[in-house]
Structure 1
């Protein structure tokens, strides 16, 4: 399967489980992948090694996306790597141009609203929302000069149904969805499609032990009988970045196994 052959994607937060799943699916579909991380350098390098071992191209780029200048540097370095002539190793280059950005980097702390500080709020909003704004703006400046591209934000079902202790997180993700719609309007004339993907609960190591009651409730509520997997979100992102979605922009694709279809009464 080569839906993304000849393309280069930048995946932020690629050192985490969800970012890894997205990055691997892009690589499996033929894209060269720039893997961003802030602190999970070894994890991101492991993802890059898996991609290279499978015959793909990957590079690891480190940046703190809470700072606007770091967002712009990251996108610039990804575009420079994409434009380099490439071999089949992580230093070889993408062999093309930056065609896709997936804004996946984010944090999800639990903090009850009555005790939340402005610093708590800014930590989440700067990481989850301001980085999306800055990376999108930087990537769009490059894409609009080279026949367009695709940008996908990772939002959450909490954009519509917040959980307790997640006021800052839910608000940031709701804003991410609306940012995608606004960006789709303004960047559409330049050949840039912008969408968001809203995952439900995604399986990860230790989740069932850390949150057994929550996992139990999700399993009871989900229509397809299981939690999500990183590759489920990766599939959605690949679709939105591919020619199959050429007339889709400004859309929020919910990937939650049908939890949101459950009656609330």
Structure 2
């Protein structure tokens, strides 16, 4: 894929959950900026293949890799396969894979709680640990977790999701401390409401509320999140680590009183 400005030229990136809308947008933006991209999916195989095909059709390099990231062996295998495909290098990891179910806290089971924590938090821990082992031997790199503005602004029926994303933000800060001496930067991107297929039809009231509240007047797009991830992975962000970059059109700045 022809680079827009070549910010990621020569990089090898792994984007988890790239069969979804946000993950696909991130993978495409990384490829546009010159990175070779390992496109991960668990069940969205056809969507991941479509993302990879778009990258290849535009002249870029991409491979589709499948794994269940709640399984430690599978998570480590994914990172190993991405690095092997990249010629022994992995310079960027974007931990985007996750789930967002709704459930009333009073009726939530421990199994439901653990399932969200495993998908959204444990997967981040395991992929980051495995990627850092590669990066510290090959000159460093960047890790970006996709968190959410719900890490600090809770929403009804999302107690497990909000808790997992708050923990993801703190994991990044802790990892930034420990991996910084090895040339590895770790940050988070916290998106607001990102548009997707059928969102306005399935949740019209929520979309209207968002549009009334957000200063920029629109929902986010997958490429908005991708742009933030590209920045954090590129040399322009070489002195940025342990940071949470909020990408929400300014909605978090809206007064709540």
**TM-score, normalization by structure 2:** 0.98
In the alignment, is residue 245 of structure 1 matched against residue 237 of structure 2? yes
Q: Offset of 1:97 from its aligned partner?
A: 1.8
Q: State the alpha-carbon separation in 1 of the partners of residues 53 and 172 from structure 2.
A: 31
In the alignment, is residue 105 of structure 1 matched against residue 84 of structure 2? no
Match of 1:260 among 229, 249, 252: 252
Contact 2:142–2:185 under 8 Å retained in 1: yes
Query: Number of paired residues?
Result: 253
Q: Offset of 1:60 from its aligned partner?
A: 0.2
Q: State the alpha-carbon separation in 2 of the partners of residues 49 and 97 from structure 1.
A: 22
Q: Offset of 1:33 from its aligned partner?
A: 0.1
Partner of 1:132: 124
Contact 2:194–2:219 under 8 Å retained in 1: yes
Segments of structure 2 that go 5 or more residues without pairing to the other structure are: none
Q: State the alpha-carbon separation in 2 of the partners of residues 172 and 254 from structure 1.
A: 17
Partner of 2:165: 173
Q: State the alpha-carbon separation in 1 of the partners of residues 93 and 250 from structure 2.
A: 26
Q: Offset of 1:242 from its aligned partner?
A: 0.2
Partner of 1:92: none
In the alignment, is residue 22 of structure 1 matched against residue 14 of structure 2? no
Q: State the alpha-carbon separation in 2 of the partners of residues 112 and 73 from structure 1.
A: 35
In the alignment, is residue 159 of structure 1 matched against residue 151 of structure 2? yes
Q: State the alpha-carbon separation in 2 of the partners of residues 174 and 107 from structure 1.
A: 14
Deviations 1:126-175 (A, max 9, x none): 00000000000000000001110000000000000111000000000000
**TM-score, normalization by structure 1:** 0.95
Q: State the alpha-carbon separation in 2 of the partners of residues 8 and 260 from structure 1.
A: 33
Contact 2:93–2:131 under 8 Å retained in 1: yes
Q: State the alpha-carbon separation in 1 of the partners of residues 199 and 49 from structure 2.
A: 24
3-state SS in 2 of match to 1:138? helix
Provide the aligned C-alpha RMSD in A: 0.6
In the alignment, is residue 184 of structure 1 matched against residue 184 of structure 2? no
Segments of structure 1 that go 5 or more residues without pairing to the other structure are: 84-95
Deviations 1:10-56 (A, max 9, x none): 00000000001000000000000000000001100000000000000
Match of 1:146 among 138, 142, 147: 138
**Deviation above 4 Å: which 4+ runs of structure 1?**
none
Partner of 2:79: 75
Deviations 1:158-213 (A, max 9, x none): 00011100000000000000000000000000000000000000000110111111
Q: State the alpha-carbon separation in 1 of the partners of residues 165 and 74 from structure 2.
A: 21
